[in-house]
Amino acid sequence: MEESFEYTYSAPEQEEIKRIRSKYLPKEETETKMEKLRRLDREAERPGTVIALVLGTVGTLIFGAGMSLCMVWGLLLPGIPVGIVGAATLGMAYPAYARITRKQREKIAPEILKLTEELS
């Protein structure tokens, strides 16, 4: 009887296995202070970014509809106001982002400042 043992090791494959496995393991509360600081900073900007993207997308579609009414169908009277509404919606995207982000930052400022003092 011939007995043999065959083993192949692939570092990239093992890393992929570890990465996939880590998604399914229970999360431990081992987040470092720097990781928490980065996470909080990202979370402060996320709501404003989402709202700005939605406003920008909707405004662009409305503006495009107004342009189509004017240029393709020759309907200037309804096309111009529709285009103006779209442009106004586009114009609200950045101020909405700035205001929401400012409020979020004010809300988490004490925790961020505490973490930065501990890390400094």
Angstrom distances, CA of residue 80 to CA of 65, 73, 90, 93:
10, 12, 15, 20
Q: How many domains does the chain have?
A: 1
Is pLDDT at 33 greater than 90 in this prediction?
Answer: no
**Domain range for residue 47?**
32-119
Answer yes or no: are the C-beta atoms of 108 and 40 closer than 8 Å: yes
Helices then strands (H, E): number in the chain? 3, 0
Would you say residue 26 lies in a domain? no
Is pLDDT at 31 greater than 80 in this prediction?
Answer: no
Is pLDDT at 30 greater than 70 in this prediction?
Answer: no
Give the per-residue pLDDT at 119: 82
Would you say residue 65 lies in a domain? yes
Tell how far CA 86 is from the center of its chain: 23
Q: What angle do CA 91, 86, 55 make, to 5 degrees?
A: 60
Please report which confidence band the pLDDT of residue 120 belongs to, taking 50, 70 and 90 as the band edges.
confident
pLDDT digits (tens, 9 = 90+) for 6-18: 777 778 888 888 8
Would you say residue 19 lies in a domain? no
pLDDT digits (tens, 9 = 90+) for 60-82: 999 999 999 999 988 999 999 99
Q: What is the average per-residue pLDDT within 49-61?
A: 97
Answer yes or no: are the C-beta atoms of 56 and 87 closer than 8 Å: no
Q: At a CB cut-off of 8 Å and minimum separation 6, what does 107 contact?
A: 44
Would you say residue 111 lies in a domain? yes
Give the per-residue pLDDT at 85: 97
